């Protein structure tokens, strides 16, 4: 009999190491399987322990819907008792998106080579995000990976709903902009060339408004590529400038002071904060680390500073409700739910209800923004059409008066 060391998967989730006596490697693997474990690596006692290389970090862009598809697929199979390696093998063969199949296959190979699920997932931290990986680690350590994945799926669904709501609110302004360019194209290609031809033939003076509009249309027609380059260059410079820490902090502070827009920024940040906090806390992550994870989900620098105050107070032993009240991160209306949750021992449930309430606030604010943006763009469209009509009518009546 020979002594073998092995790395195996326990309860479909936990990677562990041990030793076993067997006649050969094949028998050792069979004995490990008969013990209810999944062998990952089997090697001789006098061999060097297989070293795990640092997983190469990769960046694959996934939409929220794609992340949710990946998460729900994995969660449904693990909760059904399918071993995690087999689950990824099934996903590698059956997921609709090629990039999802590639990620599943890569993670499967890493687990087979001795990585834990979280260690393999860390190579895609830039794809799924730091919070996602940390929550999966907490689920793997607690043996509740399927439960954490289910909560992550719900979290991704909430974020997708908010994003879809914002996109749907942006459709109307985009249509109006397209109409503006359509009008410019129509008058530039059909109306004004015919009128200018008649005016030149009869020596009629062209009004200033008409000349300005014709010059603008001609410039757009001849140098549209230059405009695209200019807009992209300016946009890139503005984005880089805004990303500077002092500038971003100043802009984020100003955004919070704008009516309706400030409400949207605050409630959207709070929606992410409370959702991550609830998922982390219910997954057994300590409240201090849960707050840190939730803080990392906030993009607004001013609100992030308030979260840092809350985080510091939590580490100093203050309750979540006391820290939230002192930091100013949360409107007073929501603090009562946290207090009730802490006193009744149902903080996780209260955080879930709070997250749902904040989601409703986000939807309401987005509707308010849509209500305000629509008339604003109609006014812009009206002014633009009015200018085109003024240029056309002055030119047209000038022509009539010359005959």
What pLDDT is recorded for position 142?
Answer: 66
Domain 64-156 falls under CATH 1.20.81.30: yes
What pLDDT is recorded for position 70?
Answer: 92
**CA atoms 278, 283, 285, 286: torsion sign:** positive
What pLDDT is recorded for position 18?
Answer: 78
Question: Cα separation of 184 and 114, whole Å?
Answer: 63
Question: Cα separation of 164 and 366, whole Å?
Answer: 11
What pLDDT is recorded for position 123?
Answer: 87
- What residues have CB less than 8 Å from 295, skipping those under 6 apart? 273, 304, 307, 308, 310, 311
What pLDDT is recorded for position 52?
Answer: 46
Is the model's pLDDT at 203 over the cut of 70?
A: no
Q: Please list, residue by residue across 222-255, b when 16 or more beta carbons sit within 10 angstroms of its beta carbon and e when fewer do.
A: eeeeeeeeeeeeeeeeeeeeeeeeeebeeebeee
Higher pLDDT, 347 or 399: 347
What pLDDT is recorded for position 26?
Answer: 72
Same fold, 64-156 and 171-403: yes
φ/ψ of residue 45, rounded to 5: -60, -35
Q: In CATH, what is the architecture of 171-403?
A: Up-down Bundle (1.20)
Provide the pLDDT confidence category of residue 204 given band limits of 50, 70 and 90.
low
**Residue pLDDT, tens place only, 157-180:** 877 877 777 777 777 777 777 877
**Residue pLDDT, tens place only, 25-80:** 778 777 877 887 766 667 775 544 444 455 556 678 888 889 999 999 998 988 88
Question: What is the residue-averaged pLDDT of the chain?
Answer: 80
Q: Left, alpha or beta for 21 (phi > 0: left; psi -120 to 50: alpha)?
A: beta
Provide the residue ranges of all domains of the chain, joining segments of one domain with +. 2-44, 64-156, 171-403
Find the mean pLDDT for residues 8-35: 74
What pLDDT is recorded for position 160?
Answer: 82
**Residue pLDDT, tens place only, 102-133:** 999 998 888 888 787 888 888 888 888 887 88
């Amino acid at each position: 009999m020979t002594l073998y060391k092995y790395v195996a998967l326990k309860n479909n989730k936990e990677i562990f190491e041990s030793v076993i006596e067997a006649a050969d490697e094949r028998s050792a693997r069979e004995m490990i399987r008969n013990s209810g474990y999944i062998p990952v690596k089997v090697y001789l006692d006098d061999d060097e322990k297989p070293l795990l290389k640092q997983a190469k970090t990769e960046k694959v862009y996934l939409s929220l819907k794609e992340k949710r598809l990946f998460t729900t697929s994995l969660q449904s199979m693990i909760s059904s008792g399918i071993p995690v390696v087999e689950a990824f093998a099934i996903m590698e063969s059956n997921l609709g998106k090629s990039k999802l199949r590639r990620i599943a296959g890569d993670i499967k190979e890493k687990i087979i080579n001795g990585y834990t699920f979280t260690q393999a997932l860390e190579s895609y931290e830039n794809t799924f995000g730091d919070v996602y990986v940390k929550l999966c680690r907490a689920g793997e350590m607690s043996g509740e990976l399927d439960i954490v994945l289910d909560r992550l799926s719900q979290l991704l669904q909430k974020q997708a709903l908010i994003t879809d709501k914002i996109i749907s609110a942006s459709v109307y302004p985009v249509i109006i902009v397209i109409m503006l360019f359509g009008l410019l194209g129509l008058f530039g290609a059909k109306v004004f060339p015919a009128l200018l031809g008649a005016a030149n033939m009869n020596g009629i003076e062209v009004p200033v408004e008409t000349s300005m509009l014709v010059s603008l249309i001609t410039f757009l027609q001849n140098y549209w590529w230059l405009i695209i380059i200019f807009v992209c260059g300016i946009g890139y410079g503005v984005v880089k400038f805004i990303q500077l820490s002092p500038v971003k902090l100043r802009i984020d502070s100003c955004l919070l002071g704008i009516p309706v827009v400030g409400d949207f920024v605050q409630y959207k940040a709070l929606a992410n904060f409370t959702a991550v906090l609830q998922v982390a806390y219910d997954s057994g992550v300590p409240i201090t680390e849960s707050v840190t994870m939730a803080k990392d989900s906030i993009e607004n620098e001013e609100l992030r500073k308030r979260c840092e105050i809350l985080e510091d107070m939590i580490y100093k032993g203050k309750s979540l409700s006391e820290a939230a009240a002192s930091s100013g991160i949360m409107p007073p209306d929501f603090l009562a739910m946290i207090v009730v949750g802490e006193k009744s021992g149902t903080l996780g449930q209260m955080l879930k209800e709070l997250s749902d309430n904040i989601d409703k606030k986000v939807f309401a604010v987005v509707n308010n923004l849509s209500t305000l943006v629509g008339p604003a763009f109609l006014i812009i469209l009206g002014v633009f059409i009015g200018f085109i009509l003024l240029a056309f009518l002055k030119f047209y009546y000038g022509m009539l008066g010359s005959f």
